[in-house]
Amino acid sequence: MRKIFTALTFLRRVLLFLLLAVLIPTSIDRCSNDGKRGINDHVREVQADGSYTEMMIDRSFSIDDDTLTVDKAYVTPKRILLTYTYRHHNRGYSWSFPESTLKLILSDGQQLNYQSGGSSGRSWGQRGQISFLLPKDPIEKAKLVYDWYDRHAELDIPLTKAGSEQ
């Protein structure tokens, strides 16, 4: 009976060692690369459209206790791509930000069509991008509108003659 307990103890220690050998490097990599994974290739995506203009926006609005920040805008001959950061206030309970609820409204009331979007979750929230088709006429600014259920927010986005020859 003692030999069985010794064999089981040895087996348990080997399994514990193997699991730790796998989990520790994975955990370290995940923590150290938290800001470097996911939606980070937006520049490559806009470069595929040809010439582009990059504009720092860095404007925010609150959604309940959370914050949505539009970081940058990229204007290409085909689209306007906005990168955003969504920060959760309560880390214990959070939801994915529905980027399809964002609309880009021009000063004449025209709503730009949502083309695509994507996001990558983080421990503190998420980073993402949303793309809109470029209008035919040049625009200097637009309003980003968030309207979902009982939540509503607006943010002015300067676009410096988006749609004109660049």
pLDDT, tens digit (0-9, with 9 covering 90-100), for 68-86: 899 999 888 888 889 988 8
- Segment 150-153 long-range contacts (CB within 8 Å, at least 24 positions apart): 151/63, 151/64, 153/61, 153/62, 153/63, 153/68
Residue 11: predicted pLDDT: 92
Q: With a cut of 60, say whether residue 38 has pLDDT above it.
A: no
Residue 107: predicted pLDDT: 82
Q: What does the alpha-carbon distance between residue 166 and residue 161 come to, in Å, rounded to a whole number?
A: 9
Tens of pLDDT, residues 53-70: 888 999 998 888 888 899
Q: With a cut of 80, say whether residue 124 has pLDDT above it.
A: no
| 3-state secondary structure at position 64 | coil
Which range has the worst mean pLDDT, 24-28, 71-75, 99-103?
24-28
- Residues β-bridged to residue 85: 69, 127
Contact 82, 144 (CB under 8 A): yes
Between these two residues, 7 and 44, which has the higher pLDDT value?
Answer: 7
Residue 165: predicted pLDDT: 46
Decide if domain 42-162 falls under CATH 2.60.40.1240: yes
| 3-state secondary structure at position 135 | coil
Reported confidence tier of residue 93, pLDDT bands at 50, 70, 90: low
Contact 132, 113 (CB under 8 A): yes
Between these two residues, 160 and 136, which has the higher pLDDT value?
Answer: 136
Amino acid at 7: A
Reported confidence tier of residue 15, pLDDT bands at 50, 70, 90: very high
Q: What does the alpha-carbon distance between residue 137 and residue 98 come to, in Å, rounded to a whole number?
A: 28
Percent above pLDDT 70 for the chain? 83
In the block, residue with structure tokens 């920060």: 87
Residue 91: predicted pLDDT: 64
What's this model's pTM, rounded to 2 decimal places?
Answer: 0.69
Residue 9: predicted pLDDT: 93
Cβ neighbours, 10 Å, residue 117: 19
